[in-house]
Amino acid sequence: MDLVNSAVGATSFVGGLMLYAGYIYTNAYFGYFHLDSLAMGFSTFELVMRSLRLAALPALEVMALALVVPAIPRLLIAMQLPERHIRRMRVLGRAVARAYLGFVATGVGLMMLWRWIQPFAWSAPLLVAAGLLLSQTSAAAPAGGPRKPAWERALSLLAAGLFLIWVVALVAGQLGRQDAHRDADQLVRRVAVVVLSTERLSIAPPGPRVEDLGRDAHYRYRYSGLRLLIERDHRYYLLRLGWKKATDPTYVIEDDDTMRIELRPGTQPRT
């Protein structure tokens, strides 16, 4: 029963962490384009799926490695490797686990250098979290020493969880902004949009290219030179070619009976 409860608790924590990561990533990405992700109405499933963008980041790899190292001797025993290799790995695992204070101290030291360790600031809370988690492993306990009190173990795990949440927020936000910057630089490759409207649209300058097709045309005005950022609930979030973050707006066009939206291929790189 305890195992089931632990599994349920771990699953809930991971699910909540993925939802949080997805929200931070999405908010950072669309915030780059002057949009509020909450107002865009992303579902819980969409946010969790966007969190998968973080799945192969160095922060997670380092965290996994730090937790796996102390358990390597047991893995080697299961693989029936020679005893001398097992002894060496057991010594290494104990050394890593017992160096948990060094992990914590290094992380705290890096926090004091926050301005100078960008864009790798996530490594500071990650080291602290790794040290706190390693301190709770059996390899970190001195041989024959007393077991740590329950309140101390719980406090260490709580602090490690908070530092991990901080790591996720830093990494997700940084990755969201990086992806947005990359997409803005490669805007010409995104889906091209042509907006045909019966009435002239009030679009803030510099705006897209506009053509008057004449009074006889049902859709009299044609707007081109636009690229699709995303479409949600019949709303098209558009950027003009040459979009600049510091000066240009993001256009939100709602599809209705007064206009027609045409989607065309963007410019593709030569192969």
SS3 19: helix
With a cut of 70, list the residues of the chain below it in pLDDT: 1-11, 13, 55-87, 89-90, 92-93, 138-147, 268-271
In a shared domain, residues 106 and 22: yes
In a shared domain, residues 217 and 172: no
183 token code pair: 């997409």
Q: Greatest CA separation found in the chain?
A: 93
Question: For residue 98, what are the β-bridge partners?
Answer: none
252 token code pair: 């939100």
Tell me whether residue 269 is in a domain.
no
Query: Within its chain, how far is the Cα of 256 from the centroid?
Result: 34
**The dihedral of CA 233, 239, 240, 241: what is its sign?**
negative
In a shared domain, residues 57 and 143: yes
Query: Within its chain, how far is the Cα of 185 from the centroid?
Result: 20
In a shared domain, residues 128 and 210: no
Provide the pLDDT for residue 32.
95
Amino acid identity at 206: P
In a shared domain, residues 208 and 112: no
Structural domain including 193 reads 187-264
Q: Write b or e for each residue in 4-41: b if 16 or more Cβ atoms lie within 10 A of its Cβ, otherwise e.
A: eeeeeeeeeeeeebbbbbbbbbbbbbbebbebebeebe
In a shared domain, residues 7 and 72: yes
Provide the pLDDT for residue 120.
86
Tell me whether residue 271 is in a domain.
no
Q: What pTM was computed for the model?
A: 0.79
Provide the pLDDT for residue 64.
62
**The dihedral of CA 143, 144, 145, 151: what is its sign?**
positive
In a shared domain, residues 210 and 153: no
In a shared domain, residues 26 and 87: yes
Tell me whether residue 39 is in a domain.
yes
**Domains in the chain, number:** 2
Q: Write b or e for each residue in 238-253: b if 16 or more Cβ atoms lie within 10 A of its Cβ, otherwise e.
A: bbbbebeeeebbbbeb
CA dihedral 114, 120, 124, 130 (to 10 degrees): 180
Of the three residues 141, 169, 185, the one that is the final residue of a domain is 185
- For the stretch 177-227, pLDDT in tens is 999 999 999 999 999 999 999 988 888 777 888 898 888 888 899 999 999
Of the three residues 185, 202, 237, the one that is the final residue of a domain is 185
Provide the pLDDT for residue 35.
92
**The dihedral of CA 29, 30, 36, 37: what is its sign?**
negative
In a shared domain, residues 128 and 163: yes
Of the three residues 167, 185, 203, the one that is the final residue of a domain is 185
Nearest Cα neighbor of 225 from 257, 264, 255 is 264
CA distances to 27, 148, 171 from 24, rounded to whole Å, are 5, 36, 9
Provide the pLDDT for residue 157.
84
Tell me whether residue 12 is in a domain.
yes
